[in-house]
Every structure is written in C-alpha cells, then in structure tokens.
Amino acid sequence: MRQIFLDTETTGLYHAQGHRIIEIAAVEMINRRPTNNHFHVYLNPQREIDPAAQEVHGISLEFLQDKPLFKAVAQDLIAFISGAELIIHNAPFDIGFLNSELGQIGLESINSFCDKITDTLKMAKDSRPGQRNNLDALCRQFGIDNSRRTLHGALLDAELLADVYMAMTRGQDSLMMDLGHYQPLMQLQTHQAQQIKIRVLKADEFELTLHQDYINTLVKSGAKQW
C-alpha cells in the first residue's frame, strides 16, 4: 500500500481569486513505513503574495523569482503521486489549488491520477468533535515533536502529518501487516519443515516376543486391556 502525505503553501487563501501555489511537498510511505522518498519544490507564482499569507509561511516573492513555474514540474508531481492514496490535512484547500494549477495548463484534476484522497482534518473532527484539530493541536495530542515548526513549511508539515496519521491510525497496525516480511517467514518455516527427516525405529523380533509375553502375563492376572 503506497501513501503520499502532501502539503502546499500558497500566495493567499482562495485560488478562485487568482492565488497560486508557491511550495509543494509530498512524502512517501509504503505499507505504513516511510521510504525517505519525497517530492519538494518551490514555485514562482508570477504574482504578489498576500502579507497575511507570508506571515504564516515566511516565503517571499524575492526568494521565488528564480524558481520554476508550476507547468515545469507538473509531470514530475503526477508521476510521484500516481496510483497512490493522497493524505492531506484539510484536503479541499490543497486539492482546490492543485486542480486550479492543473486546469490552467490543460491537465486533468489531481483525483484522476491518485487512487483516493483522505482528509485527516475530517478524520480528526470525527474522532475529536468540538476540539481544535489543526496540525499543531494534533501534534500535542499525540506527543509528536513539532518544535521546528516556527513557520508553516510544506515539507515539514507533510512529514509531521505522516507522524500524526500513523498515531491516529495506530490500531490498524495489526491489520496492515507488511506481507513482504510475513510471507518469506512462512516460506522459511515451510522449507525448514520439509528438511526435517523423522527416523522411525521398529521393534526387532526379540522385543516383540518380550512385549507379547508381558501382555500374556497381564491377561492371566485379570488386568483389563486398553
């Protein structure tokens, strides 16, 4: 099972108002184990960044001037997420921006490239109704160190989200065994069993005679046979 934990940073809150993605990060996990494989890019949005948004992520337009446009990295992003489950905190926000960017260059929506999309914010609200369920609150809830998160950053947030998701779904560990590890173990046990040769020792004629004499003695003494 291949899962991708994804996060974006943007120039503002609403893609419908022309805001753009300026950072994308995606972290890979296979069979609930991190692979250390990730996708991470900064993007030139070709527009101003809202001051409120810059206060959140700390990314300046000056820093982004020499970064690629979204269309230059779109195929690499699609290749990285293709066929995987996308796991995103507040998925409608990121998916809305990604679909807006893809649409502007004539590509299909992100949903057509991935297996499914899971929103961890919805998961958290379902399990913790009435509580704060942003990423910082969930890190506190599950004892995950988020001390490096002085500003929002897509790569760090995707890594923290992976840790949060694992904590939220910890009870599934026994149900999602790594079959790649389990099957070779069974094969080894079967192979070992096939290699065991059992030695059978049969009684010789003298031992059989002694055994029969013992049985006859029991019969004469009135003992029950069983």
What whole-number distance in Å separates Cα of residue 159 and Cα of residue 156?
5
What whole-number distance in Å separates Cα of residue 162 and Cα of residue 4?
9
Judge contact between 154 and 77, C-beta under 8 A. Answer: no
In single-letter form, the type of residue at position 27 comes to V
pLDDT at 224: 45
pLDDT at 214: 61
Active-site residues: which are they? 152
pLDDT at 146: 86
Cα torsion through 71, 41, 6, 75, rounded to 10? 30
Low-confidence ranges of the chain (pLDDT < 50): 174-186, 188, 190, 193, 223-226
pLDDT in tens, 171-213: 665 444 444 444 444 454 545 545 555 555 666 676 666 666 6
pLDDT at 50: 97
**pTM, whole model, 2 decimals?**
0.75
pLDDT at 150: 78
Of 93, 147, 145, 87, the C-alpha closest to 117 is 87
